[in-house]
Structure 1
Amino acid sequence: METWDAIRARRNVRRYRPDAVSDEHLRQILEAGRRAPSGGNRQHWDFVLVTDRRQLADLGAIWQGGQYIAAAAASIALVLPQPRDEQAVLLDQFDLGQATYAMMLAATDLGIGTGHSLVGDQDKARAILGVPQTHVVSYLLGVGHPADRPLRPIVTPKRRPFDEVVHFGRWQGKDDPTR
């Protein structure tokens, strides 16, 4: 798939087929996250790949919106060190967003679906994954082959209109007095 097609085809997948994702594809997805841009090249992230069915089931129970993780072929936990200050929070979360999207886009390019989830219970997440108290399990990324439909470019995405989102040169929103 070409990059532009992968961008247009990427969607949150929350229903997966039971078949596994190959180790080669999982490594490629993880490599995309590892290569993502990072402010000052800090790369504070760590990724924990989970393919064990019992661990996946346990991870699916740590956030009310993340039950689909249990049915995924794999999950990638995105882990950061406890932030030392507010600036570290902002930089690390921005970097983690880039790593997450790089992994999602790489997966889409391979025809593999992903769905992101928050982590509600840090203590439980750390226990399941063996992550030390010095770190935070920020997000989970479900990974698997979509059960409902293949990943194809979405012609009409459910997104705000381009002209409502994009501003050229200055803000031109509904509340703009010069509009």
Structure 2
Amino acid sequence: MGRVSGMETWDAITSRRNVRDYADRPIPDEDLNRILEAGRRAPSSRNWQPWDFVVVTDRGRLAELSNVWRGASHVARSAATIALVTGVHDDAGQRERAQYDLGQATMSIMLAAADLGIGSGHAAVADQDLARRLLGLPTDRECAYLIALGHPAGGPLRPIQRPDRRPLDEVVHRQHW
């Protein structure tokens, strides 16, 4: 059941886009908690839940966190950023399962944000030492991804009528390739 003021599921799906330019406006705690709850409830292989979330809202810390990857400059301008943290997995199978589960948590977080009219933009993490220091992570954990959040500076999220995606009949194969 969605909030009365929230979007319908299809509207959230069709409105979600990568937002990397944010209005200087905080995200209310109740909205941030709802977004985090969506991540917590994400599907997970064998209910493993190989994630923890570190939420950063401090402007100075966000600016420092934006240095973990050359493509993460939008993190500095976000109202909040969620760091998706997972264990350091030596086993390739565990790494693959964790990555799949983290992808599901990412999408749940992004759709919940879109439902609330909050933009999101993901970022990779190249400098694990910096991320570990800034986030206070133990040595057996690493930051897999960052999801920056904020109210879109360019106006509210709306369903995208012509998304920059391959046509459905090119993507979908029925019964065989």
- TM-score, normalised by the number of residues in structure 2: 0.95
- 2:163 paired with 1:130: no
- Residue 169 of structure 1: how far off its partner (Å): 1.2
The alignment partner of 1:138 has SS state of strand
Residue type of the alignment partner of 1:163: D
**Distance in structure 2 (CA, Å) of the matches to 1:7 and 1:84:** 35
Among 134, 138, 159, the alignment partner of 1:153 is 159
* Residue equivalent to 1:97: 103
Aligned sequence identity (%): 57
**Distance in structure 1 (CA, Å) of the matches to 2:175 and 2:61:** 49
- 2:43 paired with 1:73: no
Among 13, 20, 27, the alignment partner of 2:26 is 20
- Residue 84 of structure 1: how far off its partner (Å): 3.4
Following TM superposition, the consecutive aligned residue runs of length 4 or more in structure 1 with deviations greater than 4 angstroms are: none
Among 108, 118, 127, the alignment partner of 1:112 is 118
**Distance in structure 2 (CA, Å) of the matches to 1:116 and 1:59:** 13
* Residue equivalent to 2:171: 165
**Distance in structure 2 (CA, Å) of the matches to 1:14 and 1:149:** 12
- 2:65 paired with 1:59: yes
Larger Rg belongs to: 1
The alignment partner of 1:123 has SS state of helix
Aligned-CA RMSD value: 0.7
5+ residue gaps, structure 1: 172-179
- Residue 15 of structure 1: how far off its partner (Å): 0.2
* Residue equivalent to 1:175: none
**Distance in structure 1 (CA, Å) of the matches to 2:152 and 2:116:** 12
**Distance in structure 1 (CA, Å) of the matches to 2:149 and 2:103:** 17
Aligned length: 171
Among 137, 142, 145, the alignment partner of 1:139 is 145
State the Cα deviation string for residues 30-52 of structure 1 (Å, max 9, x = none).
00000000000011100000000
**Distance in structure 2 (CA, Å) of the matches to 1:35 and 1:144:** 21
**Distance in structure 2 (CA, Å) of the matches to 1:55 and 1:131:** 14
